[in-house]
Chain A
Amino acid sequence: MVQYPSIDWLAISPLVILLGGTLLVLVVGALTKVWPRGLYAVSTAALSAAALVVEMVLWNRVGHEGPVSIINDALAIDRFTLFVWIGVTIATGLVSLSTADYLRREDLEGPETYTMYVCAAIGAMIMAASNDMVVLFLGLETLSIALYVLAASHRRRVDSQESGLKYFVLGGFASAFFLYGIALVYGAVGTTNIARAGQLLSQQVFVDGDDALLLAGVALLMVGLAFKVAAVPFHFWTPDVYQGAPTPSTSFMASVGKFAAFAAMLRVLTTALGARADDWRPVVWVLAVASVVVGSVLAVVQSDVKRMLAYSSIGHAGFILIGVEAAGHAGDQDGIPSSLLYLLLYSVLVIGTFTVVTLVTRSGDRASDIGSFRGLGKERPLLALAMTVFLLAQAGMPVTSGFIAKFSVIKAAADNESYAVAIIAMVASVVSAFLYLRIMISMWMSDAESGDEAREKVAVPWTAGVVVLASVVFTLVAGVFPGWLIDATRDALVVVR
């Protein structure tokens, strides 16, 4: 008689709601005529909202009953998981709304894109919750495969297909490294369970050279994860993929993709390999410094805004890695909260930014060079103002969420006496401010050039307007009153071990 594990249905209900709901939308959408304006997007956003409500209930339950490990220790439901789930669900809802008008403009209307978003979000949520490296791999692949499809989903743009192919080949390559890392760690520790591996490794003492298998495994895991978070030197795919993919899909990759990859990285490094922090911390240090420097410097020399934002996202990944590095110091209490805070604030920012870029690229999704922003301040002052807020926040301007995010990771580094990395990050942040200023100057101060009148006007549909407005409000509110968010990230320190 086979023993089946007991399943805590309430704990996994956000996943069930999202999966069931999106399959329903897909099937009904396939059997009926094209739905009226934006209804696919609104129904996907409603699904996200429903999942969000259950996540809030779970957040309270975990507060009362403490973290639990469910389905035979496959998934960990703690506030770390739930914080990421809430972030991913919000991001999915926002990106769905910002896609609504894009698909009609590009004549790609249909429910498939939204189903891909939700499937990718489910993969991301499983990655964040996984308490077993094999489950983590399955979540990673669910996320990645959906993202490959999204990158290649603009059927008439050859750029989009090229972006999909590049992402697919390099993503598969990195997944293989990640999987090999899991195999070697499994061989060294004897389990793929993250919490149990953490316990075993904290008791196990290795004598000279015995841990070669483990170290090789950790190195391969780091390669796979660094690729997924787009850290230098594993960032080569990012500019091409971000530029070629449909703009809303790019914003989904930059928000949900990064959120999930960092959550997985934090869980594997701090819970499973916490006892070996002295081995992986220097690696993360190098990745962080290389990412902030290369991301900021190369962003400045780009002429395509989507490429610029891709390099800037590499720089932001470097900042989050500074938080991860801080989490590797013994007794640290700031690393994980600051990384999570950065991820949430950056996700909202990047969705707002790319929503504006989506509108500016106009029909065909091609006009993403910096000249396309020329005169936006006169044509659409409110949209340009919102973009200005997003760019200032990404540069780390006080009173915006970006300042809180950067301040918290740099403080975490300084508290752990990593002064070098803190100083490098601050200098890089100043360099990258130049890039954001370039876009702002183009929007507000550039003179009109001949042919500008012939360009299509930038249309702002209500769905995208809602996303931009919500992102601006969140950016400013989180910048002025960050206390409640910081408290929530502190709660995420209690994880399943």
Chain B
Amino acid sequence: MTLLATTPTTTWYLVLGAVLFGIGAVGVLVRRNPLVMFMCIELMLNAVNLSFVALAKRLGDIGGQTTVFFVMVVAAAEVVVGLGIIVSIMRRRPGATADDIAELKG
């Protein structure tokens, strides 16, 4: 009961943000589907957004909250370019994973 009655503090949100960011980072490193890797990057960006909002709330500053809008716009622009590149590769080699796309070697 006491646990449920506790009010969430900023730290909770920061920890959640860090965990989400970690999941995203690990996802980029271990997943092999370009689309899933891309989704993991979006997860990382949104984890940062959560941290920004939590910190802005704690600091009582509107700046951190407005930053989130900029980050969302940037993420949207990245989606456009990223999907464009992924589609152009998939059209040439359907079902390619990150391991298959390895023509460039030293």
* Contact surface of A with B, Cβ cutoff 8 Å: 134, 137-138, 141, 145, 148-149, 152, 155, 158-159, 161-166, 168-169, 172-173, 176, 179-180, 182-184, 186-187, 190-192, 239-240, 243-244, 298, 301-302, 304, 307
Q: Is the CB of A161 within 8 A of B82?
A: no
Tell me, rounded to whole Å, the shortest Cβ–Cβ distance linking A308 to chain B.
9
Chain B nearest CB, measured from A204 CB (Å)? 14
Q: Kindly provide the distance from the CB of B33 to the nearest chain A CB, expressed in whole angstroms.
A: 11
Task: Please give me the 6 A-B residue pairs with the lowest Cβ-Cβ distance, nearest first.
Answer: A176-B44, A187-B55, A172-B41, A240-B104, A183-B51, A141-B74
Contact A172 B55, beta carbon cutoff 8 Å: no
B78 touches A190 (CB 8 A): no
Instruction: Indicate if the CB atoms of B85 and A179 lie closer than 8 Å.
Output: no
Map CB proximity to A onto B53-87 as digits: 1 under 8 Å, 0 otherwise: 00100110101100100110010011001101110
> Interface residues of B, CB < 8 Å — how many?
42
Question: Which of A162, A173, A192 lies in contact with B89, CB distance below 8 A?
Answer: A162
Residues in A with CB closer than 8 Å to B70 are 134, 137-138
- Cβ–Cβ contact B48 & A183, under 8 A: yes
Contact pattern, B 1-41, Cβ under 8 Å of A = 1, otherwise 0: 00000000000001000000100110010000010011001
CB nearest neighbor in A for B46: A176
Question: Apart from A164-B85, A165-B34, A172-B78, what are 5 other A-B pairs with CB-CB below 8 Å?
Answer: A152-B84, A162-B102, A165-B85, A173-B25, A176-B25
CB distance from B78 to the nearest CB of A (A): 6
Q: Which of B44, B59, B74, B93 contacts A180 (CB 8 A)?
A: B44
B104 touches A243 (CB 8 A): yes
Residues on B with C-beta less than 8 A from A243 are 104
User: Within the complex, which residue of A158, A184, A191 is in contact with B92, where a contact is CB–CB below 8 Å?
Assistant: A158
Nearest opposing residue in chain A for B91, CB measure: A161
Query: A298 — which chain B residues lie within 8 A by C-beta?
Result: 106
Determine the distance from Cα of A145 to Cα of B4 in the docked complex, in whole angstroms: 45
| Chain B residues closer than 8 Å to A176, beta-carbon distance | 21, 24-25, 41, 44-45, 48
Smallest CB separation, B84 vs chain A (Å): 8
CA distance A180 to B55 in the complex (A): 12
Q: Which of B14, B28, B74, B106 contacts A304 (CB 8 A)?
A: B106
Q: Name the B residues within 8 Å of A191 (CB-CB).
A: 61, 63
Q: Give me 9 A-to-B residue pairs in the complex whose CB atoms sit less than 8 angstroms apart, sorted by A's number.
A: A141-B78, A162-B102, A164-B85, A165-B89, A166-B101, A169-B41, A173-B28, A183-B64, A192-B67
Please give, as numbers and ranges, the residues of chain B lying within 8 Å of A164 by CB-CB distance.
Answer: 85
A158 CA / B93 CA spacing, docked (Å) = 10
Chain A residues closer than 8 Å to B82, beta-carbon distance: 148, 168, 172
Q: How far is the CA of A304 from the CA of B106 in the complex (A)?
A: 8
Contact A169 B37 (CB under 8 A): yes
Q: Find out whether the CB atom of A192 lies under 8 angstroms from the CB atom of B63.
A: yes
Question: Hey, which chain B residues are within 8 Å of A148, CB to CB?
Answer: 81-82, 85
Chain B min CB distance to A272 (Å)? 15
Task: Give the nearest-CB partner of B14 in chain A.
Answer: A187
Contacts of B89 in A (CB 8 A): 158, 161-162, 165
Nearest A residue to B67, CB-CB? A134
Cβ of A179 and Cβ of B77 under 8 Å apart?
no
Q: Are A180 and B21 in contact (CB-based, < 8 A)?
A: yes
Tell me which residues across on chain A come within 8 A of B102, comparing CB atoms.
162
Closest Cβ neighbor of B47 among chain A residues: A180
- Given contacts A168-B82, A168-B85, A187-B59, are A302 and B104 in contact (CB under 8 A)? no
Min C-beta distance of B18 to chain A, whole Å: 9
Please measure, in the bound complex, the distance between the C-alpha atom of A134 and the C-alpha atom of B66, giving whole angstroms: 10
CA A481 – CA B24 in complex, angstroms?
51
Q: What CA separation (Å) do A138 and B75 show in the bound complex?
A: 11
B45 touches A179 (CB 8 A): yes
A187 and B51 within 8 A (CB): yes
**Chain A residues, CB < 8 A from B104:** 159, 162-163, 166, 239-240, 243-244
Report A-chain residues with C-beta under 8 Å of the C-beta of B103. 158-159, 162, 244
Whether A169 lies near B106 (C-beta < 8 A) is no
